[in-house]
Each structure stands twice: as structure tokens, then as C-alpha cells.
Amino acid sequence: MISLNTGICRMLGIEYPIIQAGMAGGPTTAELVAEVSGAGGLGTLGAAYLTPEKLREDISEIRKRTNKPFAVNLFAPGPEDDFSRIDEVKQALKPIYEELAIEEQNGEYRSPDHGEELFRICLELNVPVISTAFVSLAPDDMAKPKAQGVNIIAKETAVSEALEARAAGADAIVAQGSEAGGHRGSFSFDRHPMGAQVGLMALLPQVADAVDVPVIAAGGISDGRGLVAALALGAQAVQVGTRFVAARESGAHTAYKQAIFKSDEESTVVTKSFSGRPARGIKNRFIEQFDSSGTKPLPFPSQNTVTKEIRGAAAKTGNPEFMSLWAGQATRGMTQEEGAAEIVSSMMEQARACMR
């Protein structure tokens, strides 16, 4: 018998098995996180691109708005910058610089790296749950938060990655199917240059069979039917991203939300052109132009740093053709902004009806 009150609800101290994905880059405002947690789910602050000051400010704001548990999502330590092919990449971007009237940066590029400090702040402020994207944290890095009672959630796209994260000490595993919006959580790039592309329906039961900790399903889940299906396939909760990007409290640009409302299951592609790491987003002119230039993107995070001024200029004029419009494959039902708490309650209501 499937129950909506799962083990992970008790483990995380939440009422409903709905986790709002931590989404770096603006969508996950303190207000969004607090609304989801306040409604009985687990709100997650996508903190990877925040400055240490902004992380402190957001955690304090979340705590002012709710006394319920919430999570902070960080990127696990990643590769160093590599700008060795910067001239080639800038040449490919030249027509876009010209179209958006961007003055090319002359000085050296450098990607901000506050990762270690952000992690330290989460421990200092006793954040109840830390979730990570990319490469599993090393066992030593997991030991300290775990000793403090913090739950660690790792995100994976294949059974081999899930086993690695579990062996390192993860308390729960997100199984991210290929339908998911945003960056692929993969770290087996030696075998899968575009990240493992396993659909959630195949991935979920295989991960659930392989690990002895709760599994959270992610990728293309946008309603109560998806929640019940995920529980039937062995998950104890779902992690929802795109539907919350389009929420009223999300900090995503209006033009980005509009692009989601106009999109459907055929609109997205997996691309490395914005950041150097494979990520799923709505296909736009930036992706088409960069991909058709035939230029290989720089590795992450360097490509992300180089394309930042283009994304910034596009945001200023509200031009979705040159923004990164990360989104999953289940967007057809999203047609207007909804409150985050409403999303949680309508998913639960539909799940209950579906189970009846």
C-alpha cells in the first residue's frame, strides 16, 4: 500500500513528500523557500552562485518567515577554471556581442568560488538539510555535517553514481531522470560526455533497489499523478524544479516564466553551450547560434563565466532568446503563475484523488 506519509517525511520533519529543488541563479528566493516549507513540503535555497553575505541574508529571511525545516543546495567542489580556448569561444560569441551591443571584457575572466565558505556558513547556521549537485561530497566533507545532525542529500543520474554517493555517506539520494530541467547531476562524464540520459521511469526502481537510503525522484514531475507514480516506483519523495520556477514567489525573470508558459514537451534540449556542463533548457537563439558555430564550449565553470555578460544583457532587456531558460520536459500544464503553497496543496490533493 502506497502512503503519502513516507519515511523521508519523518526523517526530514516535513508533512508532505514534496521537495522544491534548489535552483541556483535566481529562482529560489527566500520567500519561495519559506512558502514551500510553510505549506508542508521542503523548500530549498539554490545557493551555489550566492555570495557568502547573500547566503546569510537569505537563511535569516527564511527563518523569519517560517520555523519549518528547509534545505540549502550547493555544488560539490568542482574543476578549476580553464580559459585556454577563450579566444575561440569569444569569436563564436562575437555576433551575439554585436547584436546585444555588449562591450567585450578585456581583462582576465575568473569564476567566483565561494563553495567552501558557503558550506561553512551552512554548518555555522545549522541549516537542517544540505543537498548537493555534481560529484558526491567526499566522506570527510560529509562527516562534519552528519555529526551535527544535518541530513545530506546527493543528486545522481545512474546507479553507479548513487552507490558512490551512498558509500560516501549520503542520507538520501535524488535520482534525476533525463527529463529534468537544469544541469544534469551526472558525474560520470568519462563515460557520458552529455551526462547519463536515463529516463526516470527506468532509473528510479533501479536506484531504489540498489541503495539502502530513501530515494527522491526528480525530472518531469509536475503534478500529483507524477508524485504517486514516483512513490509506486520506489521513491519516498519527489523533487520538483520547473513548476516552482514559474511560481509567483520565484525570482525568475518574467520573460523566462513566459517562455515556460509557451513551451511544451518538445521545447527543450540538453546543451553545454551556456555553462560547459550538460543542462536541459528551452531551445532559443543562443543555443542554436553557439551550437551551429561548431565551437566546443569551455569546461564548467569557465563557459558559465564567459556567457554571464550575455545572459545579463538579455535579462536587462527581457530578451529570452539569450537567457538560459532551464526547464524540464513536463511544462505543457504550466500556463500561468501560481503561489508556491498552492502548488504543494494542489499536488497533494491530486495525489490523494489518484490514490483513491
Ligand X SMILES: Cc1cc2nc3c(=O)[nH]c(=O)nc-3n(C[C@H](O)[C@H](O)[C@H](O)COP(=O)(O)O)c2cc1C
Residue 46: count of CB within 10 angstroms of its CB: 29
> Exactly one of 24, 173, 198, 230 binds ligand X (CB under 6 A); which one?
24
Is 215 strand, coil or helix?
strand
Only segment of 20-28, 289-297, 301-309, 310-318 that touches ligand X (CB under 6 A) = 20-28
> Exactly one of 221, 235, 287, 340 binds ligand X (CB under 6 A); which one?
221
Closest Cα to residue 260, out of 270, 247, 277?
247
Q: Is 136 in the site for ligand X (CB under 6 A)?
A: no
Give the distance, in angstroms, between the CA of residue 317 and the centroid of all CA atoms in the same chain.
25
> Exactly one of 17, 41, 220, 320 binds ligand X (CB under 6 A); which one?
220
> Exactly one of 181, 214, 297, 299 binds ligand X (CB under 6 A); which one?
181
> Exactly one of 8, 18, 23, 348 binds ligand X (CB under 6 A); which one?
23
Is 196 strand, coil or helix?
coil
Output the CA–CA distances (angstroms, integers) from residue 150 to 71, 247, 320, 343, in the order listed: 10, 28, 38, 27
Task: Please report how close the Cβ of residue 123 comes to ligand X at its closest, in angstroms.
Answer: 19
Task: Please report how close the Cβ of residue 7 comes to ligand X at its closest, in angstroms.
Answer: 21
Q: Which residue has the cell 527564511?
A: 62
Q: Which three cell numbers stand for residue 84?
A: 585556454
Task: Please report how close the Cβ of residue 248 comes to ligand X at its closest, in angstroms.
Answer: 16
Q: Is 277 in the site for ligand X (CB under 6 A)?
A: no
Only segment of 18-26, 55-63, 77-85, 337-345 that touches ligand X (CB under 6 A) = 18-26
> Exactly one of 178, 239, 267, 307 binds ligand X (CB under 6 A); which one?
239
233: CB partners within 8 A, 6+ apart: 201, 204, 205, 208, 217
Q: Is 22 in the site for ligand X (CB under 6 A)?
A: yes
Residues that bind ligand X (rule: CB under 6 A) add up to a total of 29
234 touches 204 (CB < 8 A): yes
> Exactly one of 180, 211, 227, 260 binds ligand X (CB under 6 A); which one?
180
Rounded distance, CA 310 to CA 324, Å? 10
Q: Is 286 in the site for ligand X (CB under 6 A)?
A: no
Q: List % helix, strand, coil for the chain (3-state, nearest 5).
A: 40, 15, 45
DSSP 104-172: PP-S-------HHHHHHHHHHTT-SEEEEESSPPPHHHHHHHHHTT-EEEEEESSHHHHHHHHHHT-SE
Task: Please report how close the Cβ of residue 185 comes to ligand X at its closest, in angstroms.
Answer: 6
Task: Please report how close the Cβ of residue 238 comes to ligand X at its closest, in angstroms.
Answer: 8
Q: Is 328 in the site for ligand X (CB under 6 A)?
A: yes
Q: Is 17 in the site for ligand X (CB under 6 A)?
A: no
Residues at the contact surface with ligand X, assessed by CB under 6 A? 21-24, 27, 46, 48, 73, 133, 155, 176, 179-183, 218-221, 239-242, 245, 326-328, 330
